[in-house]
């Protein structure tokens, strides 16, 4: 078994391991996600996405993020997270609340479960990659659009809403199953995009 050092891709942290396992290429992604979620919960994290790709190499990609919590404060109600918790910089940092140590811990625990429960029967081995979702993370669940209200995002829809299928602006929450977005432009215009027609949604990196 061998691996490589974690790399940074637009704010994404990765921890990659190469695993050897003989057998079929097919996997039960739902069982793998359940295993990943068990590990993530034990570390105070959530699973954002699980992806299995087969090409020249076989990749299992697990994206994790820290569960949203109230910002820690001191007894006087003041102070930063790093002041309240000296380890905050190492376990979270600025990359979506997930650090390399988080990725490493989840990777080690998950790889053991995958082997013991034989969830990855991938011929000639596979690459397990545990990473943060990145600064341009994809928004998949209804709760994501509420959590990141106020952030700049890009959304494309499977069918036109009004006369457009592509929207960029600031998320303004979720109302009655519709994502509210204040569009960019000379004049602020708010649109409501039904969740069921959203094809892809991502945060936009703001420097």
CATH classification at residue 158: 2.30.30.180
Co-location of 123 and 148 in the same domain: no
Mean pLDDT along residues 94-102: 72
Helix (H) or strand (E) holding 179: strand 178-183
Please state, rounded to an integer, the average pLDDT across all residues of the chain: 79
Co-location of 28 and 80 in the same domain: yes
Co-location of 9 and 103 in the same domain: yes
Indicate the number of domains in the chain.
2
Co-location of 16 and 59 in the same domain: yes
pLDDT in tens, 109-168: 999 999 899 888 754 678 899 999 888 999 989 999 999 999 999 999 999 998 899 999
pLDDT band at 187 (very low <50, low <70, confident <90, very high): confident
- Compute φ and ψ for 87, nearest 5 degrees: -90, 0
Co-location of 8 and 92 in the same domain: yes
- Provide the pLDDT for residue 99: 87
Taking the C-alpha atoms of residue 60 and residue 63, their distance in angstroms, rounded to an integer, is: 10
> What domain range includes position 48?
3-131
For residue 150, the SS3 value is coil
Is residue 137 assigned to a domain? Answer: no
Is residue 136 assigned to a domain? Answer: no
Is residue 189 assigned to a domain? Answer: yes
- Provide the pLDDT for residue 70: 53
For residue 141, the SS3 value is coil
**DSSP-assigned beta bridge partners for residue 77:** none
Co-location of 107 and 184 in the same domain: no
Is residue 8 assigned to a domain? Answer: yes
| Burial environment of residue 61 by CB neighbours within 10 A (0 to 12, 13 to 18, 19 or more) | middle
Q: How far is C-alpha 192 from the geometric centre of its chain's CA atoms?
A: 24
Residue 195 DSSP symbol: G
Co-location of 121 and 193 in the same domain: no
Taking the C-alpha atoms of residue 191 and residue 173, their distance in angstroms, rounded to an integer, is: 11
Is residue 93 assigned to a domain? Answer: yes
pLDDT in tens, 18-49: 554 444 456 789 999 999 999 999 999 999 99
Contact 172, 180 (CB under 8 A): yes
pLDDT band at 82 (very low <50, low <70, confident <90, very high): very low
Helix (H) or strand (E) holding 107: helix 100-116
User: What percentage of the chain has pLDDT greater than the value 70?
Assistant: 72
Is residue 28 assigned to a domain? Answer: yes
């Amino acid at each position: 078994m061998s691996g490589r050092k974690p790399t940074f891709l637009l704010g994404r942290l990765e921890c990659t391991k190469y695993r050897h396992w003989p057998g079929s290429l097919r996997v039960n992604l739902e069982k793998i996600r359940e295993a990943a979620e068990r590990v993530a919960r034990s570390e105070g994290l959530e699973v954002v996405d699980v992806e299995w790709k087969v090409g020249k190499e076989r990749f299992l990609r697990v994206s994790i993020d820290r569960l949203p919590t109230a910002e820690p404060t001191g007894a006087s109600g003041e102070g930063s997270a790093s002041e309240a918790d000296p380890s905050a910089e190492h376990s979270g940092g600025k990359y979506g609340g997930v650090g390399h140590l988080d990725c490493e811990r989840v990777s080690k625990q998950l790889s053991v479960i995958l082997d013991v429960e034989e969830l990855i029967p991938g011929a000639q081995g596979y690459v397990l990659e545990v990473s943060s979702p990145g600064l341009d993370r994809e928004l998949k669940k209804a709760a994501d659009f509420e959590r990141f209200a106020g952030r700049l995002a890009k959304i494309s829809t499977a069918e036109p809403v009004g006369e457009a299928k592509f929207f960029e602006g600031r998320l303004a929450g979720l109302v009655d199953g519709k994502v509210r977005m204040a569009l960019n432009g000379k004049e602020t215009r708010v649109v409501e995009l039904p969740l069921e027609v959203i094809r892809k949604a991502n945060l936009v990196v703001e420097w």
